[in-house]
């Protein structure tokens, strides 16, 4: 699964694209304009952007050029009604990896996403944990996390099969004698909500009966 962002101002088209990419097994977030993209998405965790050119406000070509300059590892698919050879050339010159003309078949677009994802230089993790700024970033937002939550997520990332026993968590939080099962569950629920707010696509921390918890999303750990 990869993280895909769609920028398309036509509502019906945007919703159809979201359904198509989600059905292909990817996490997808959509925006109606370039301005909404820049204000509403953290591109550090995005793998591919599907971009219309005829956007209100900031145009698609300028947006593609900015994405390529600021986030060179992101794959860019331009999906537009502009189909003249010179228009295609402008798209490629300004950062497009793939240029598709509307109407494009569902199979072609999914195939383009799949092909481009194979040759991305380094797939992004679903979320990025920055222990220094104490933030968790994803395709939807950047959220603040507590020191205890940073410690727990780091421990999950480093654990075999990303599983932790309840005793490991309570020891980590130095509260083995104080923290009750219900209190632990409340804190896990709070952390899940933050992870989903950042853009986690599934239940990010799952219960393992009679054992503990498992981290089910990919989290990158930011280094200095």
Residue 212 scores a pLDDT above 50: yes
Residues 9 and 101 in one domain: yes
Residues 94 and 168 in one domain: no
Residues 114 and 131 in one domain: no
Q: What is the CATH number of the domain that holds 50?
A: 3.40.50.2300
Residues 151 and 171 in one domain: yes
Residues 27 and 86 in one domain: yes
Query: What is the pLDDT confidence band of residue 183, given thresholds at 50, 70 and 90?
Result: confident
Residues 143 and 107 in one domain: no
Query: What is the pLDDT confidence band of residue 175, given thresholds at 50, 70 and 90?
Result: low
Residue 181 scores a pLDDT above 80: no
pTM over 0.75: no
- At which of 77, 100, 118 does a domain end? 118
- Per-residue DSSP letters for 129-146? EETTTTEEE-SS-EEE--
Residues 94 and 171 in one domain: no
* pLDDT (0 to 100) of residue 79: 92
- At which of 63, 94, 118 does a domain end? 118
Residue 43 lies in domain: 3-118
The SS3 of residue 101 is strand
> Quick one: average pLDDT of 30-45?
83
Cα distance between residue 159 and residue 115, in whole Å: 32
* pLDDT (0 to 100) of residue 160: 75
Q: What is the CATH number of the domain that holds 190?
A: 1.10.10.10
Q: How many domains are there within the chain?
A: 2
* pLDDT (0 to 100) of residue 205: 95
Residues 60 and 90 in one domain: yes
Residues 110 and 22 in one domain: yes
Enter the tokens of residue 104.
């494009």
Q: Which residues of 51-60 are buried (b: 16+ CB within 10 A; e: fewer)?
A: bbbebeeeeb
Which residues are within 8 A (CB) of 77 and not within 5 positions of it... i.e. 6 or more apart? 48, 49, 50, 51, 96, 97, 98, 99, 100, 109, 112, 113, 116
Query: What is the pLDDT confidence band of residue 77, given thresholds at 50, 70 and 90?
Result: very high
- At which of 86, 118, 150 does a domain end? 118
* pLDDT (0 to 100) of residue 121: 66
Residues 105 and 212 in one domain: no
Residues 113 and 131 in one domain: no
> Quick one: average pLDDT of 34-44?
80
Q: What is the mean pLDDT of the chain?
A: 88
What is the per-residue pLDDT across 78-95, written as a single tens digit (0 to 9) for each?
999 898 999 999 999 999
Residues 36 and 134 in one domain: no
Enter the tokens of residue 47.
């793998």
């Amino acid at each position: 699964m990869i993280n895909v962002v769609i920028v398309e101002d036509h509502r019906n088209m945007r919703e159809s694209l979201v359904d198509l990419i989600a059905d292909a097994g990817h996490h997808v977030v959509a925006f109606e304009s370039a301005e909404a993209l820049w204000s509403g998405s953290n591109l550090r965790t995005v793998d591919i952007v599907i971009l219309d050119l005829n956007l209100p406000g900031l145009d698609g070509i300028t947006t593609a050029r900015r994405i390529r300059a600021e986030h060179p590892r992101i794959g860019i698919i331009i999906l537009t009604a502009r189909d003249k050879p010179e228009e295609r050339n402008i798209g490629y010159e300004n950062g497009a990896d793939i240029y598709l003309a509307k109407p494009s078949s569902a199979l072609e677009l999914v195939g383009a996403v799949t092909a481009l994802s194979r040759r991305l230089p380094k797939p992004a993790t679903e979320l990025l944990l920055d222990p220094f700024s104490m933030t968790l970033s994803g395709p939807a937002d950047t959220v603040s996390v507590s020191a205890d939550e940073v410690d727990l997520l780091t421990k999950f990332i480093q654990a075999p099969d990303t599983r932790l026993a309840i005793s490991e968590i309570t020891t980590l939080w130095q509260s083995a004698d104080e923290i009750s099962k219900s209190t632990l569950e409340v804190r896990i629920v709070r952390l899940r909500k933050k992870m989903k707010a950042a853009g986690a696509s599934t239940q990010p921390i799952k219960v393992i009966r009679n054992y503990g918890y498992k981290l089910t999303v990919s989290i990158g750990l930011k280094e200095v």
